[in-house]
Amino acid sequence: MCGIVGYVGKRDAYEILIKGLHRLEYRGYDSAGIALISDNNDLVVYKTKGKVINLENHTADLNRSGKIGIAHTRWATHGEPNDINAHPHFSGSKSLALIHNGIIENYKPLKEELIAQGKTFVSDTDTEVLIQLIEYIQESHNCDLFTAVQMALNSVVGAYAIAIINKNDPETMIVARKGSPLIIGIGEDDFFIGSDATPIVEYTDKVIYLEEEQIAKINLKEGLKITDLKNIETTPIINKLNINISQLEKAGYEHFMLKEIFEQPESLINTLKGRLKIDTKEVKLSGIIDNVEKFRKARRIIICACGTSWHAALIGKYIIEELARIPVEVEYSSEFRYRNPIIYDDDIVIAISQSGETADTLAAIVLAKSKGAFLFGICNVVGSSIPRATHSGAYTHVGPEIGVASTKAFTAQLSTLFLIALSIAHERKTISNEYFESLVDELQTIPDKIREILKLNEQIKNFAKTFTYAKNFIYLGRGYNYPVALEGALKLKEISYIHAEGYPAAEMKHGPIALIDEELPVVVIATKNGNYDKIVSNIEEIKARKGYVISIVTKGDTQVKNISNFSFEIPDTADCFVPILSVIPLQLLSYHIATAKNRDVDQPRNLAKSVTVE
Ligand code: G6P
């Protein structure tokens, strides 16, 4: 969602900010803007609806000088996406400019109070209320800006990451966070800010992750001062970034999504590295080892997640229950957090989140923590909010995922869940040593098997062109392949805007079968595992109604192939690892249908990569 970038230093800020905005585009946005204190000491704000390139065109002949500035990509919440509602927002006197991620929930009463005090507003946003409030406090209390920001933040309800610059103090930026991430990069003789590391990594690998309810004054000469909202000062911890700039480039691929699909063999090796020990036949996940008693004795595991991560969670349930024999419940974070769930103190709550910032998942674990559960995070973005809020966890280590539609992060979440299930099963002795060792061996072969599936790319590309006409798709699977059907359908609708639904294959008879005709493509994941015969019958039912069947089958299969209109073969593997293979052709199918329809694959309309508002 919204993205923040800022610079204070000796270089021209504009280029750094625009480049930063491009780096943040992947998060999803609908307008962009920039504020600079120009060399002749004017505070200028430029903003436009649409892409960052519009902002660049708009500013081409304007004054873009200045060594300090803030810039923003906005994903509209309060007020439609237009030039006026875009950030930055001025204060009434136009001395201050603010950018903001998050939502100020009590903006209405605050706005009414400010209007009663004579303030006027130009936009429909909650953000403008905040900057007007800050200036009003500054004027009415005759205090400095830092104090005014502290006081204002003490009276707002909601989530924010903010950055403010002040025309009257052109070497200072004030930033703060609660519920939305904010990172400060420490350069040689300058400072950078970002809502994630992508706009910063090019300039420095030294960063400070601002903590909840912290506010920082960044001054070129005095350096950094960080306090909480009660003005208690803290010494920041400087972390080292472990991403590099090449991970943020397309490396010759047409889209980040395709690059990330093709990265999967390598990214899985990174997830498994140091954790899957083939020579000693061991699985070593420090997050489990350090808390082994908790996992051994867990009464239940609850997994909270959203979107694609929720599909990974569902596969996690199947494998943990099958191997480790602990009951697992899978929850949409947004439902869990608001329904007063029953949580026991010997429950383990696992949060799965690529970004580590999804607002609902963060709130779900905060709730579970308050009820005494042990929290374990499976996240990709190092240093993000969810891993910092959990007791323990495992990073997926696949580097930045830029395409909005999750691919390599999903398969990395699956491999992490496989490792977790295997470790707990081994500890609880719920599977034999022989079976454990055979799964360890098999898991190691998965990257090569994915490589083999990726060879289908050209074939899938040619085949995909056939479906640009389709208005609907159905995806079916059973057992481990049921969540894959959900994920396949989600991938297609996210990036092609074709309506698609996934179902457990047997549920087809309870409704979706009514939709089947010659026009409706039905993707059936029919690999040779537990429910093979049942799924063959489901395909027969579709064929009897003249449905068009695209099947994903195990290499060498003839039965399903013969009754399908089109099939893609994937290598055989253990039942529980099938999803990590069967999802790959579905990722490619969605990608190629979407590109054949000329969709903006990496930044599909209305979607955000990191959903930081509920
Ligand atoms: C958004 C993204 C999805 C992602 C979901 C959950 O909707 O577009 O790709 O699966 O959020 O995000 P998380 O970062 O928590 O995995």
Q: What is the pLDDT of residues 91-130, one digit of tens each?
A: 999 999 999 999 999 999 999 999 999 999 999 999 999 9
| pTM for this predicted structure | 0.90
Query: Active site includes 2?
Result: yes
What's the farthest any 2 CA atoms get from each other in the chain?
81
Q: What is the DSSP string of 15-68?
A: HHHHHHHHHHGGG--SEEEEEEE-TTS-EEEEEEES-HHHHHHHHTTS----SE
pLDDT on residue 1: 79
pLDDT of 18 over the 90 cut:
yes
pLDDT on residue 383: 87
CA of 193 to the centre of ligand 1 (A): 23
Q: State the Cα–Cα distance between residues 454 and 393, nearest whole angstrom.
A: 30
**Ligand 1 binding pocket includes 358 (Cβ within 6 Å):** yes
Q: State the Cα–Cα distance between residues 301 and 295, nearest whole angstrom.
A: 9
Q: State the Cα–Cα distance between residues 160 and 178, nearest whole angstrom.
A: 5
Q: Which residue has the tokens 């699909």?
A: 261
CA of 413 to the centre of ligand 1 (A): 12
> For the residues 334-348, what does the mean pLDDT come to?
94
Q: Residue with the nearest Cα to atom 13 of ligand 1?
A: 353
Q: Residue with the nearest Cα to atom 3 of ligand 1?
A: 307
- The neighbour count for residue 220, using CB atoms within 10 Å, is 17
**Ligand 1 binding pocket includes 353 (Cβ within 6 Å):** yes
Q: State the Cα–Cα distance between residues 350 and 343, nearest whole angstrom.
A: 13
pLDDT of 401 over the 90 cut:
yes
List the strands of the sheet with 374-379, edge to edge.
328-332, 300-305, 347-353, 374-379, 392-395
CA of 609 to the centre of ligand 1 (A): 6
Q: State the Cα–Cα distance between residues 255 and 583, nearest whole angstrom.
A: 19
Give the nearest ligand 1 atom to 356 CA: 14
pLDDT on residue 247: 86
> For the residues 41-53, what does the mean pLDDT come to?
96
> For the residues 19-37, what does the mean pLDDT come to?
95
CA of 82 to the centre of ligand 1 (A): 25
Ligand 1 site-directed mutation target among 2, 306, 331, most atoms within 8 Å of CB: 306
Mention every residue, 6+ apart, whose C-beta is less than 8 A from residue 279: none
Q: State the Cα–Cα distance between residues 323 and 314, nearest whole angstrom.
A: 14
pLDDT in tens, 156-173: 999 899 999 999 999 999
pLDDT of 407 over the 80 cut:
yes
pLDDT on residue 46: 98
Give the nearest ligand 1 atom to 358 CA: 15
Q: State the Cα–Cα distance between residues 208 and 226, nearest whole angstrom.
A: 11
pLDDT band at residue 613 under the 50/70/90 scheme: confident
pLDDT of 530 over the 80 cut:
no
Structure tokens at 50: 């649409």
**Ligand 1 binding pocket includes 596 (Cβ within 6 Å):** no
pLDDT of 202 over the 80 cut:
yes
- The pLDDT > 70 percentage for the chain reads 100
Q: CA torsion, points 96, 100, 106, 108, in degrees to nearest 10?
A: 60
276-277/223-228 β-pairing: unpaired
pLDDT of 362 over the 80 cut:
yes
Peptide bond into 88 cis (omega under 30): yes
Q: Residue with the nearest Cα to atom 2 of ligand 1?
A: 609
Contact (CB, 8 A) for 560 and 567? yes
Q: Residue with the nearest Cα to atom 7 of ligand 1?
A: 307
**Ligand 1 binding pocket includes 404 (Cβ within 6 Å):** yes
Query: Active site includes 306?
Result: no
pLDDT on residue 78: 84
Beta strands in 505-597 (DSSP E): 521-525, 548-554, 566-570
Torsions phi, psi for 501 (to 5 deg): -130, 140
Structure tokens at 111: 């706005």
pLDDT of 244 over the 90 cut:
no
Give the nearest ligand 1 atom to 28 CA: 8
**Ligand 1 binding pocket includes 334 (Cβ within 6 Å):** no
pLDDT on residue 337: 94
Four-residue CA torsion sign, 191, 193, 196, 202: negative
pLDDT band at residue 79 under the 50/70/90 scheme: confident
Contact (CB, 8 A) for 299 and 403? no
CA of 487 to the centre of ligand 1 (A): 12
**Ligand 1 binding pocket includes 361 (Cβ within 6 Å):** yes
pLDDT band at residue 409 under the 50/70/90 scheme: very high
> For the residues 22-35, what does the mean pLDDT come to?
94
Mention every residue, 6+ apart, whose C-beta is less than 8 A from residue 505: 476, 477, 478, 482, 485, 524, 531, 534, 535, 538
CA of 290 to the centre of ligand 1 (A): 28
- The pLDDT > 90 percentage for the chain reads 91
Mention every residue, 6+ apart, whose C-beta is less than 8 A from residue 107: 78, 126, 129, 130, 156, 158
Closest of 521, 426, 411, 438 to residue 475, by C-alpha: 521
pLDDT of 462 over the 80 cut:
yes
CA of 528 to the centre of ligand 1 (A): 30
Contact (CB, 8 A) for 200 and 241? yes
**Ligand 1 binding pocket includes 123 (Cβ within 6 Å):** no
* Mean pLDDT across the chain: 95
Q: State the Cα–Cα distance between residues 313 and 328, nearest whole angstrom.
A: 9
> For the residues 239-263, what does the mean pLDDT come to?
92
